[in-house]
Structure 1
């Protein structure tokens, strides 16, 4: 199918009734090629730095330990690539979203878990080893699963399966896996360099992020408000909440411990917004994607807000609940009591 025909209604979304006072079209992004290239390079660089720094936090021994007992990782991957893509597809259908919005939401829903989930798992007193392994495994699995899921779910929208840039998506996914593996190799063979790489990466990341934000705002300042529509905001608010909730419920049904269930919950609801933004910005032309390449930032805002509220509720619950009521703490308390027995009897 001709991509021009499929996207006929896409550009109309941003053109219709969106003409400024001087007669210029506000809906179509006419970013200068040099500025567009600069933003693309910076976003690819940010993704590379994030993933190589993340790889420096991973230990191969921990990955092996979870792979030999794959129940937690398997359930997490099923939740990540089962719940989130289906949620994205269902919301796009229910809200009758336009083609480019639907593609954007589907790409976000099919993305692997992000590094933010590791921080949130720590705040929720989750299993950190499982969290790191889940993030790594989901990035690797996304190489095959993300294009496959996009192809499957795009069948529900007329013609979209023919215009999704699968090559660009796979290239962006490679930018997450390769630097992550490099970081893991550095941490395994030259662990003394890992702290320096993480600190240097953080400094470079902050500078690059400020540059990307500034350049992006300059490029789309006239049309940025077009993304703040009710359907986009509704999806951005509901997707992470559904992911957090169903991730936890699914884990409890599969009899994971509360500690692991909280980890899976955070991993499911948190998408890799850096990867999603890079795909939308690099794989699509500005005239096609319009301001929708900022959707991951809207999603990120709701994702953080909802996760912080859940963390606050959990911390309040733990503050008023005896530790012995939590299965993990019972086990830990029992172990400590057993260790104290010889001292008491002595």
Structure 2
């Protein structure tokens, strides 16, 4: 079991590599992955259940200890990223389907790997976990509402249906995971040890399927979409950091909020785009899944070296 846990940890650390490889596989061998479209939503549910297993009820009490930092992080998450998405969509005059996908990514909660990146960046992990947890819990309400507000002119949003879907694939699995953790305690540690492996397999499978479903669109304008995704991510980091610094937070807290703002739950974006919109609308989410893990690793390395100096 120890060997499996070590292998799982290694897979988690090399997440970006597997995302790139599976993305390329989806692009060059689409026929292998397009029949698996129905697995996108269940795969994300597995990731969210795994996230719930790592949480304790006490984690949600962190907001009482430092409400200002948590609330600033949450506000930054749900204000900065949607606004950046809207700005980039207009600056680059993107195709409506792709524009919808970019805005959808911006309206999603924080990414599930942000806590690991915060840890590697010598940031405030407890704050990161709290912001991720609360943003994810708020996602069933805020993600559809924000999408309706910023992208309602592009397409009719099935608001109530989307809220129910997000609750089913995000909130319900997390609640179940928290309950299981509460009931079993330390007995679930072996399962937690292999979560990085399970999560990576699920997310890279989503990436491969989304890329396969829209490989034609990627071939036509993939570089432009990728450029928008990169800018969205990097500007999110920068503005998150500046906001935390402006508020006088500690260096560790600045790094946590920077990472939380820049990294999105793009798996949720891919799942919603695939269910409610078109394969093209899921492309930004797939590319974001690949890129933000690469940028996150680079950012964490930079921050860690700066801390050592």
Which structure's relative contact order is higher, taking Cα pairs within 8 Å and 6+ residues apart? 2
CA contact (8 A) 1:227 1:292 kept: no
Count the aligned residue pairs. Answer: 278
Please give the secondary structure, in 1, of the residue aligned with 2:243.
helix
Task: Give 1:217 deviation, angstroms.
Answer: 5.9
Q: Distance in 1 between matches of 2:92 and 2:118?
A: 31
Q: Which runs of 5+ in 1 are unaligned?
A: 1-30, 321-346
What residue number does 1:236 align with?
A: 229
Q: Which residue of 1 aligns with 2:15?
A: none
Which residue of the partner structure matches residue 85 of structure 2? 88
Change (3 A) 1:138 1:208: closer
More helix by share: 2
TM-score by length of 2: 0.81
State the alpha-carbon separation in 2 of the partners of residues 79 and 256 from structure 1. 14
Q: Say if 1:201 and 1:117 are closer, same or farther in 2 by CA, change over 3 A.
A: closer
Question: Which residue is 1:65 aligned to?
Answer: 62
The correspondence for 1:314, drawn from 285, 291, 303, is 303
Counterpart of 2:116 in structure 1 is 119
Match of 1:255 in 2: 248
- 1:178 is matched with which residue: 172, 175, 179? 172
2:123 counterpart SS class: coil
Inter-partner Cα distance in structure 1 for 2:292 and 2:209? 24
Q: Matched residues in 1 for 2:162 and 2:60: separation? A: 26
* Counterparts of 2:258 and 2:217, CA distance in 1: 35
Query: Does residue 98 in structure 1 map to residue 87 in structure 2?
Result: no
Cα distance in 2 for partners of 1:244, 1:218 equals 29
The 10-residue stretch of structure 1 (118-127 or 60-69) with the greater mean CA deviation from structure 2: 60-69
In the TM superposition, what whole-angstrom CA distance separates every residue of 1:94-116 from its partner, at most 9, and x where no partner exists? 11122111111110000000111
Distance 2:298 2:81 in 1: 20
- Which residue in the other structure is 1:267 paired with? 260
Q: 2:135 aligns with which of 119, 133, 138?
A: 138
Unmatched segments (≥5 aa) in structure 2: 1-29
Encode CA deviations 1:197-236: one digit per residue, 9 max, x unaligned.
4356555555555665665566555554134142x12211
Task: Return the offset for 1:168.
Answer: 4.6
